Amino acid sequence: MTRSPALSYTLVISGAPYTSQAPQSALAFAKALISGGHKLDRVFLYGDGVYLASSLVTPPSDEVNWTQLWSEFLMQTRTPAVACIASALRRGILDSAEQTRYEQPASNIAEPFEMAGLGDWVEATMTSSRILYFLPTD
């Protein structure tokens, strides 16, 4: 079988860590697509998926810290990752700009995640060859 040319992917994660398997499945898929010679354009967190971007996630020491694993992967692969700003703000995920704007006592977005609007997702639908959604299970 001839190998198909490299594709570009956007992954959308809308299931939260610890209540869904979405961040875990998406990470395994992300690693596999890169191993397969493809490009990961961007990771987009939407809905409850934005909880993955909280730097304050503190699981027990014998459990996986999905935020940390994702952060490490994103930085190693230099993959842009954005949290939908509308989803993030109402779930208490803020960067320093939003902290200032809303006069909140702290910001907590984990590196290298950034806040962006749905326009980023719209752009992804136009530029990536494939978009996969990692959804909640309920």
CB atoms within 10 A of CB 134: 22
* Rg from Cα positions in the chain: 15
Among the listed residues 46, 51, 113, 134, the single contact to other proteins using CB under 8 A = 134
| Active-site residue flag, 55 | no
CB atoms within 10 A of CB 129: 13
Among the listed residues 21, 55, 65, 107, the single contact to other proteins using CB under 8 A = 21
**How far apart, in whole angstroms, are the C-alpha atoms of residue 134 and residue 46?**
10
Q: Is 132 in the site for other proteins (CB under 8 A)?
A: yes
Task: Return the closest-CA partner of residue 88 out of 75, 102, 77.
Answer: 102
x/- string (CB under 8 A) for other proteins, residues 101-130? Answer: -----------------------------x
Q: Which stretch binds other proteins (CB under 8 A): 24-32, 42-50, 64-72, 79-87?
A: 24-32
Q: Is 137 in the site for other proteins (CB under 8 A)?
A: yes
